[in-house]
């Protein structure tokens, strides 16, 4: 595929149409969102069976983040629009596919970390959006961007802690007691999430404005 | 308020005195990492004083004293190698530092919530934002430590267990501070807290730079 100058806008447009999934006239259809929630929960089980602790953690976190507003309000309609869990599911599906075709992921490999930072960022965005759906919170772009980046870094730190605990108590070899392996993951997440956050704020505002009623709440009751 | 300012200034002078003692002792022992750290801490100690002087933001006295004590404790710990000899010393300073940062984040969130028309944070969401921003800063510190260790060969990260325990402490410290802030909110009105910080000048500067015309 040639890299034409139109590729960027096309990519953003296609992501925009993905994000609009399950949204009609400003209303959210909860059915595709619940379907994707079930898919992500199933992937969590798959990752657990494959002993991929980081991905299992991210999938379980996403499932909980999606279900929390609905559980808190006892209403199945209180769920993020389907486009967001779809973005979360894409890196997970890619990683699951790589596992199925026999790839052997390493903790400090490039493609593994690249997929992981996309997953950290999208899971964080999903979590913040879920908070916006479940509470009366109102955010501006700056606070939203920094919240998502900070949450992504928090998720990466928790993932490293989980790998370390698993290595110590379950005899796995995710980090091999090597500080550098953990720090490489952290630096990937650090630079990657700040980079994605900057790019989203710079170029993705218009595309993501589809979700703006959730965090802006300029017209109460719309979202 | 004047009495608080005087108290903060006295605490600042006491801190500078004790940190100077640490620096002198370190020079005597020809241990040059410690005086460098002490000089950096002296500059850092002046931050609340500068903020108060220019009336950018006035931190509560307890927070300033906590900050000064932490800076001294860090210098003292480096000089006597407590970080290497006492296994819980690093955890202690990390927990205290992240607790302090979390408190500053809490105050900043209150200011933003009070002054920005585009942000509304319900009280129950404060702990969440405090934890994630505190962890974000904790991770930044770990990355910085690693980069300094690799580039200028500083002895900041001893092992994987040390880095992981730092991150666990950051998470624990953030959780503790977030719980404390929630209790704090039960007894004090956020608007009162925001008024006591006197951050109007800081906000005006911020608005002039990022939202001119508002």
pTM of the model: 0.86
Position B16 scores a pLDDT of: 79
Going from N- to C-terminal start, the domains of chain A cover 27-216
Would you state the torsion angle of the CA atoms of residues B26, B32, B33, B35, taken in this order, to the nearest 10 degrees? 50
Q: Which residues of B34-58 are buried (b: 16+ CB within 10 A; e: fewer)?
A: bbebbeebbebbeebbebbeeebbb
Nearest CB among A151, A153, A179 relative to B157 is that of: A179
Average pLDDT rounded to a whole number, residues B170-177: 92
The answer to whether B118 contacts chain A (CB < 8 Å) is yes
What radius of gyration do chain A's Cα atoms show?
Answer: 18
CA A85/CA B210 separation, integer angstroms = 33
Position A8 scores a pLDDT of: 52
Average pLDDT rounded to a whole number, residues B97-108: 92
In the predicted model, is pLDDT for residue B159 greater than 60? yes
CB A33 within 8 A of CB A87: no
Q: What is the mean pLDDT of chain A?
A: 86
Could you tell me how many residues make up chain A? 223
Position A1 scores a pLDDT of: 44
Which candidate in A154, A187, A193, A197 is best for mutational testing of the B interface (most B CBs within 10 A)? A154
Average pLDDT rounded to a whole number, residues B3-8: 73
Nearest CB among A136, A138, A157 relative to B167 is that of: A157
- Token digits of residue B20: 């100077």
Cross-chain residue pair A186–B139, CB shorter than 8 Å? yes
Cross-chain residue pair B139–A216, CB shorter than 8 Å? no
CB A196 within 8 A of CB A118: yes
Phi and psi, residue B141, nearest 5° = -65, -40
* Closest chain B residue to A193, measured at CA: B136
pLDDT digits (tens, 9 = 90+) for A8-38: 555 555 666 677 777 776 677 889 999 999 9
- Token digits of residue B23: 């620096």
- Interface residues of A toward B, Cβ cutoff 8 Å, are 131, 135-140, 143, 146-147, 149-151, 153-154, 156-158, 160-161, 164, 175, 177-179, 181-183, 186-187, 189-190, 216-217
The answer to whether B136 contacts chain A (CB < 8 Å) is yes
User: Which of A81-85, A109-113, B14-18, B128-132 shows the lowest per-residue confidence on average (mean pLDDT)?
Assistant: B14-18
Give strand ranges (E) for chain B: none
Position A158 scores a pLDDT of: 96
* Backbone conformation region of residue B63, classed left if phi is above 0, alpha if psi is from -120 to 50, else beta: alpha
Token pair 């004790």 is found at B18
Average pLDDT rounded to a whole number, residues B114-126: 87
The low-confidence residues of chain A, meaning pLDDT below 70, are 1-17, 25-26, 217-223
Position A120 scores a pLDDT of: 95
Cross-chain residue pair B143–A157, CB shorter than 8 Å? no
């Amino acid at each position: 595929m040639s890299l034409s100058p139109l590729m960027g806008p096309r990519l953003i447009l296609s992501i925009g149409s993905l994000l609009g999934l399950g949204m009609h006239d400003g209303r959210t259809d909860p059915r595709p969102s619940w379907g994707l929630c079930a898919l992500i929960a199933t992937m969590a089980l798959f990752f657990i069976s494959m002993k991929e602790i980081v991905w299992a953690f991210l999938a379980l976190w996403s499932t909980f983040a999606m279900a929390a507003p609905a559980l808190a309000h006892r209403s199945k309609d209180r769920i993020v629009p389907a486009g967001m869990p779809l973005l979360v599911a894409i890196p997970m599906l890619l990683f699951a596919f790589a596992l199925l075709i026999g790839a052997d992921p390493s903790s400090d490999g490039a493609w593994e970390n690249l997929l992981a930072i996309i997953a950290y960022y999208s899971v964080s965005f999903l979590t913040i959006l879920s908070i916006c759906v479940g509470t009366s919170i109102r955010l501006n772009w700056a606070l939203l961007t920094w919240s998502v980046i900070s949450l992504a870094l928090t998720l990466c730190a928790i993932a490293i802690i989980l790998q370390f605990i698993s290595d110590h108590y379950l005899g796995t070899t995710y980090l091999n007691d090597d500080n550098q392996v953990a720090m490489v993951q952290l630096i990937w997440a650090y630079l990657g999430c700040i980079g994605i956050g900057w790019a989203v704020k710079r170029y993705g505002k218009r595309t993501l404005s589809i979700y703006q009623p959730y965090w802006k709440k300029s017209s109460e009751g719309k979202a | 308020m004047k009495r608080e300012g005087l108290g903060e200034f006295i605490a600042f002078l006491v801190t500078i005195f004790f940190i100077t003692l640490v620096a002198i002792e370190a020079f005597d022992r020809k241990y040059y990492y410690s005086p460098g750290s002490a000089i950096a801490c002296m500059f850092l100690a002046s931050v609340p004083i500068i903020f108060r002087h220019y009336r950018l933001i006035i931190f509560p006295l307890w927070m300033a004293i906590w900050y000064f004590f932490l800076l001294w404790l860090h210098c003292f710990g480096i000089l006597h190698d407590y970080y290497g000899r006492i296994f819980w010393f690093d955890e202690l300073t990390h927990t205290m530092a992240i607790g302090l940062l979390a408190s500053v984040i809490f105050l900043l969130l209150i200011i933003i919530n009070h002054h920005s028309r585009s942000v509304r944070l319900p009280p129950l969401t404060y702990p969440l934002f405090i934890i994630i921003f505190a962890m974000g800063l904790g991770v930044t510190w770990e990355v910085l430590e690693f980069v300094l260790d690799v580039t200028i060969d500083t002895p900041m990260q001893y092992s994987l267990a040390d880095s992981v325990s730092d991150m666990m402490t950051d998470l624990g410290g953030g959780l503790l501070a977030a719980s404390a802030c929630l209790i704090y909110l039960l007894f004090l009105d956020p608007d009162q807290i925001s008024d006591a910080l006197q951050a109007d000048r800081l906000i005006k500067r911020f608005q002039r730079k990022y939202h001119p015309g508002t």
